[in-house]
Amino acid sequence: MFSKSAAFYDVIYSFKDYAHEASLLHVLIQQHKRSPGTALLDVACGTGGHLAFLKADYAVEGLDLDPGMLAVARQRFPAVPFHLGDMVSFDLGRRFDVVACLFSSIGYVKTLAAMERAVVNMARHLNPGGVLIVEPWFSPETWKPGTPHALFIDQPELKIARMNLSGVEGNLSILNFHYLVATPAGIEHFAERHELGLFNPDDHRLAFEAAGLETTYDAEGLTGRGLYLGVH
């Protein structure tokens, strides 16, 4: 998904306040977690932005489906274990006290059935008393197709313009990103298509409950998109 843009991911999303989000997440974990341990798995960890700050309080590991993103994460944090895997089907053969899936990555499973399997799979990696935390993507009611978006990076030796027009196909939100990247080596244009499932709030809640989790919804969450928390 990020095969072409992985090398630029951190600079493109430099506006994210990972330190603040990790601080909020830590407070929520301490409020809900009942298991005594500190083992934390970040599912769809990307380049490890949240782990950079969570590793001070937790024994962190990361998992992602994109090899390019994991390559960047491993370079940034060589001491942190990272795993290649799909959130729907990964099996690490061990359990954690916290499993988190942030930055709306749950949307990449696309379908309701896959989302339900992903929640069950993440929940089965929890210790008793452990907590699953999922930050949702937009719902069908809050997604606005036909909206143009642009992001610009202006550094001395790196210029990036990323544009897309939000779209919708059935229950999928479509983001066709177009990148124009300039470095001293030249100018490159490439495109990426991202498809994320649009789930209703009850879809997530019911998936958590079906996985046997004691479920709480935080309407604000880390970034205003809400947060689902389920205790094993």
3-state secondary structure 56-68: CCCEEEEEECCHH
134 and 46 in a single domain? The answer is yes
Q: Are 177 and 5 in contact (CB under 8 A)?
A: yes
pLDDT per residue over 177-216, tens digit each? 999 999 999 999 999 999 999 999 999 999 999 999 999 9
Mean pLDDT to the nearest integer, 131-158? 98
Phi, psi of 68 (to 5 degrees): -65, -40
159 is a domain residue: yes
Q: Are 132 and 208 in contact (CB under 8 A)?
A: yes
74 and 167 in a single domain? The answer is no
99 and 192 in a single domain? The answer is no
Mean pLDDT to the nearest integer, 36-62? 98
pLDDT per residue over 54-103, tens digit each? 999 999 999 999 999 999 999 999 999 999 999 999 999 999 999 999 99
The length of the chain in residues reads 232
Mean pLDDT to the nearest integer, 18-37? 98
Mean pLDDT of the chain: 97
Mean pLDDT to the nearest integer, 153-178? 98
Which pLDDT belongs to residue 3? 74
222 is a domain residue: yes
154 and 133 in a single domain? The answer is no
Which pLDDT belongs to residue 96? 98
66 and 83 in a single domain? The answer is yes
Share of the chain above pLDDT 70, in %: 99
What the block records as the tokens of 11 is 């600079």
1 is a domain residue: no
16 and 96 in a single domain? The answer is yes
The tally of domains found in the chain comes to: 2
182 and 206 in a single domain? The answer is no
Question: Residue 4: pLDDT above 90?
Answer: no
Question: Residue 141: pLDDT above 90?
Answer: yes
Mean pLDDT to the nearest integer, 105-131? 98
Residues of the domain holding 153: 148-197
Q: Are 185 and 159 in contact (CB under 8 A)?
A: no
What whole-number distance in Å separates Cα of residue 83 and Cα of residue 90?
9
CATH of the domain at 126: 3.40.50.150
Question: Residue 1: pLDDT above 80?
Answer: no
Q: What's the predicted TM-score (pTM) here? A: 0.96
115 and 225 in a single domain? The answer is yes
78 is a domain residue: yes
